[in-house]
Amino acid sequence: MTKQLIFTIITSFLMAGSAANAASCKYEVDEIDLFTKQHLVTTEWYSMTSSISTLMKKRFELDDQSKIHVAAARDGDQTSVAIKIEVSDDTGIPPSNEDLRDALYVAQGSPLTITLADDSIIELHASKSVRGTTHPSSSGFMKSNIVVLYPLEASEVDALLNQNVSNVSMAATSGRYAYVDDKGRINFEMNRKGRDRFIEALTCLNKA
């Protein structure tokens, strides 16, 4: 079998997979705003974290049970990506109301750094300030969830549609919880499952 034939088979397979994904697009929102008359669209959430890796972390009692999801959104002419993360920590100290309030916070303008497969970097900025929701989990960990919206320029949409993602890094603050590293970042190294989720989300957004 020639290299050209192998390439053609692989390309056909990938295109068929993309078509299947596009055909199964689902949306959280797909409506016309009553006041602005703008078309509002938000795709379903796409998990970028392997369920297998999460189970392995639980099995070996590792503290890091972080999860990340992505969705794509459009409000009129503005395209954005929404990032939803879940992080946990166990300090062994009952939380105060202040601890819960400040456990996870992303300020307006805070950067989201996306590293693509060719090592190029896209830096996006949060459209508004957001506080996470924090509560104790059944296993005793403190668990926080947050959803942050990041507007995209047309060139950034094109870049994300044409390459897989290898790393996502969100700037945030986390009070006394160990959610962020010493640079104030929550980092996600993408496994095989998560690398093309931006492509899937943005492809489905374009289909709406």
Domain-embedded: residue 106: yes
Q: What is the C-alpha end-to-end distance of the chain, expressed in Å?
A: 40
Higher pLDDT pick, 26 / 57: 26
Domain-embedded: residue 16: no
Domain-embedded: residue 105: yes
Residue 82 banded pLDDT, cuts 50, 70, 90: very high
Least confident of 13-17, 22-26, 160-164: 13-17
Domain-embedded: residue 5: no
Domain-embedded: residue 18: no
Q: CA geometry: angle at 190 spanning 163 and 59, to 5°?
A: 160
**What is the model's pLDDT at position 152?**
98
Judge whether 88 and 66 are in contact, CB under 8 Å. yes
pLDDT tens digits, one per residue of 89-148? 987 788 889 999 999 999 999 999 999 999 999 999 999 999 999 988 766 678 999 999
The string of DSSP codes covering 13-66 is: HHHHHHHHHHHT--EEEEEE-TTT--EEEEEPPEE-S-HHHHHHHHHTT-S---
Residue 74 banded pLDDT, cuts 50, 70, 90: very high
Residue 42 banded pLDDT, cuts 50, 70, 90: very high
Domain-embedded: residue 174: yes
pTM (predicted TM-score): 0.83
Number of Cβ atoms within 10 Å of the Cβ of 54: 17
Round the average pLDDT of the chain to a whole number and report it: 84
Number of domains in the chain: 1
The boundaries of the domain holding residue 112 are 27-207
Domain-embedded: residue 73: yes
